[in-house]
Chain A
Amino acid sequence: MVNELSDFVLVSIALLGIGIYGLAVKRNFIRMLFAIEIIINAANLNMVAFGRFLPDSGGQTLALFSIAIAAAEVAVGLSLIIVAYRMYHNVDVADFRSLKG
């Protein structure tokens, strides 16, 4: 069985929807970070699928760049979360309320 392009795009759109849902509903920083990662991976899936069906190698290049950059981004984000955890012993968004106005 050969997968059509539309299958990949549908999965990617479903992942995008899951990511946005997760960002809107969850109140835990790590879960929100996961939701963002899901969106980035949805985009990666899109690019690899388009690259396969166009056909063109640019999509895979872009996906590799995007994976590497997302890893760097997550490293910085998790380190910020660790610093926050040491201060509050919690990573819930609701606990961060010192800045208001």
Chain B
Amino acid sequence: MIELSSTPLVIIIILGIVGVILPVINVIRKEKGSNSFYAVIAFAALILSIGYVGYQFVSDNILPSALFSKEVIVDDAFGGFFAIAMLIVAIFTTVGSFNYMRKQSYPSIYYSLILLSTIGMVLVAYSTDLIMLFVAWELMSIPTYALVGFIKRNPTSNEAALKYFLFGALSSAIIIYGISITYGITGSTNIGEVIQGYSNLDPSLVPLALLSVGMFIAGFGFKMGLVPFHQWLPDTYDGAPPTITTLLAAGTKKAGFAATIRIVVLGMVVLNLDWTLALGILAIMTMTVGNVAAIMQKSLSRMLAYSSIAHAGYILIGLAVAPHSSLGLQGSLYQILNHAVMKGMAFIAVAGIVTTLAVTNLDKLKGLGRKMPITSLGLVISLLALAGVPPLAGFWSKLMLFGGALDATSALWWAPWLAIAGVLNSALSLAYYGWIMRRMYFEGEREKRVKEPKSIIAVVIFSIIFLVGFGVYPEPIIQFVELATPVVSTTVMP
């Protein structure tokens, strides 16, 4: 029996009640505007939830990373880690929307959908049962379809939403088919029992098991933006409202990784198969395609979208070497947290630029460093952190990832190539990030400073403190990551 004070339940209760009540308040108050009223309520609910997760960590009420449980959800450190990352992203989105939503209608529904989607993301990380995982996955996805198409009169927003919906629905169809096969061959939907069932499988059923794991990788890969499944991603990130792009790039993508770690990586260890090579090839393809395509982009949000594809590749390195090196998976988790903050801040900065100047084209960003100094500084810091420049937080996570790849060399002859590809790709990405910085600071005429939105400045300053602070002194975060990382090599059910 799950206790009522367990973290996922409390998060469902807080965010669910507030998320359902917001539209009701709107109906009762019978008014259209007053965006900030709803934003403050949503913000308070998110802060309360993240505070509760933090309190549970501090007071040691959370189990060590269990990964398996007889229940449908487990209150473990792995889920808590992802919950913190996703709640940070949801807070970024809410705060960043203070300004962006001022010109749009129906703010209450907008914030309510953000809260409901956040519940889904958090539950994906906590769930240990395939039914729960699927329900949480859909709870995460369905509000985001509506949010991407939220600006009804805008054709690009609608087109982005339709593309996203089509691929998202296909991904959930593939996942449910994979679940049905898994259920058929193992007779259970509990992830622990499924993996135990996999490990003593009749040899004639092994191809079916492979098919089901392949379907999981494909289904989750659509959301993560791995390379054969990435076509929708740049269009959607470009056409969606930039604040919602933050939620997609930094939030739903990470939920895909949480689900993959829960199912695929553990299944991979037990099935004793060479999935590692397949994941390694996917990682290298994803990094290279993302970075090469990013160089050719003319629009800032599109370029960041391709760079977020590339980052899915870096994170996948850690998953590929997970059976042979614990450092790799730790690096993945660390990179997931860092990427949530870095990409979140970058897209919020884009939202700020769009609301004040209404441009995303790279050529029109000339002289931005003088027009919007704080936003530009935030963008520069997040880009440098994305590239992995040393004193920032992004450096340590990449170091751990590549170190994990080298660490696995004794078992996997091709593992060093992952590290080499990662380093080369980081160098390549620095090239196009450098382009943007040059445009912002060294080109264009002297222009007057524009008034920057306060909410966006708040997000930017918080992220700068996070990235620089934990870059200079990474010890606490590394300990947190070590606490949250499951030990993969001993996957025997208790």
Contacts and interface: CB of A to CB of B under 8 A. Distances in A.
Interface of A: 9, 12, 16, 19, 23, 29, 32-33, 36, 39-40, 42-44, 46-47, 50-51, 54, 56, 58-59, 61-62, 65-66, 69, 72-73, 76-77, 79-81, 83-84, 87-88, 96, 98-99, 101
A99 to B, nearest CB: 4
B65 interface: no
List the 10 closest A-B pairs by CB distance, nearest first: A46-B180, A50-B184, A39-B173, A99-B235, A43-B177, A43-B180, A43-B176, A96-B159, A69-B138, A47-B180
B166 A29 contact: yes
Main secondary structure of the interface of B (DSSP, over half): helix
B174 interface: yes
Nearest to B305: A101
B439 interface: no
Contacts of B183: 47, 50-51, 58-59, 62
A77 B164 CA distance: 10
Most buried by A among B156, B169, B296: B169
B179 A62 contact: yes
Contacts of B169: 33, 36, 73, 77
Interface string B107-135: 00000000000000000000000110011
Contacts of A76: 142, 145-146, 165
Contacts, number: 123
Contacts of A59: 183
Given A39-B174, A84-B158, 10 more contacts: A39-B173, A50-B184, A54-B187, A58-B189, A66-B134, A69-B135, A73-B138, A76-B142, A77-B145, A101-B298
A16 B160 contact: no
23 contacts: A9-B184, A23-B170, A29-B162, A33-B166, A36-B166, A40-B172, A43-B180, A47-B183, A62-B183, A65-B131, A66-B176, A73-B138, A79-B146, A80-B149, A80-B158, A80-B165, A84-B158, A87-B155, A87-B158, A96-B162, A99-B159, A99-B163, A101-B299
How many chain B residues sit at the interface, stated as a range, is 35 or more
Given A56-B187, A76-B165, A101-B297, A61 B131 contact: yes
A76 B184 CA distance: 30
Most buried by B among A16, A39, A76: A76
B234 A101 contact: yes
Contact of A99 (B131, B149, B160): B160
A85 to B, nearest CB: 10
Nearest to B173: A39
B162 A81 contact: yes
Given A58-B189, A99-B159, A101-B298, A69 B184 contact: no
Nearest to A29: B162
B471 interface: no
B436 interface: no
Contact of A80 (B130, B145, B176, B181): B145
Nearest to B306: A101
A60 B161 CA distance: 32
Nearest to A48: B180
Nearest to A40: B173
Given A42-B177, A50-B180, A101-B299, A73 B172 contact: yes
B100 to A, nearest CB: 20
